[in-house]
Amino acid sequence: MERNRSDWATGFPPVEPRRARILILGTLPSAESIRQGQYYAHPRNAFWPIMGELFGAGRDLPYAARLRKLAAQGVMLWDVLQAAHRPGSLDAAIHPRRRTANDLPGLLARHPELETIAFNGGTAEALFRQHVTATCGPLFDGVALVRLPSTSPAHASRTFAQKLAAWRKALAPR
Type of residue numbered 11: G
pLDDT at 10 over 70: yes
Choose the catalytic residue: 4, 45, 102, 120: 45
d(CA 124, CA 90): 12
Q: pLDDT > 70: what percent of the chain?
A: 87
Q: What is the pLDDT of residues 136-162, one digit of tens each?
A: 767 677 889 999 999 988 777 889 999
The helix or strand, by DSSP H or E, that contains position 170, with its residue range, turns out to be helix 160-171
d(CA 135, CA 22): 20
Least confidently predicted of 41-50, 92-101, 164-173: 92-101
Residue 1 pLDDT class (50, 70, 90 cuts): very low
Q: CB within 8 A of 116, min separation 6: which ones?
A: 21, 22, 23, 143, 144, 145, 146, 170, 171
pTM of the model: 0.89
Q: Is 56 left (phi over 0), alpha (psi -120 to 50) or beta?
A: left
Task: Specify the number of domains making up the chain.
Answer: 1
* pLDDT (0 to 100) of residue 96: 62
Q: What's the CATH code of the domain at 112?
A: 3.40.470.10
Residue 2 pLDDT class (50, 70, 90 cuts): very low
4 carries an active-site annotation = no
pLDDT at 62 over 70: yes
Domain that holds residue 57: 5-171
Tell me how crowded residue 171 is: count the other CB atoms within 10 A of its CB. Answer: 22
pLDDT at 4 over 60: no
pLDDT at 33 over 70: yes
* pLDDT (0 to 100) of residue 78: 97
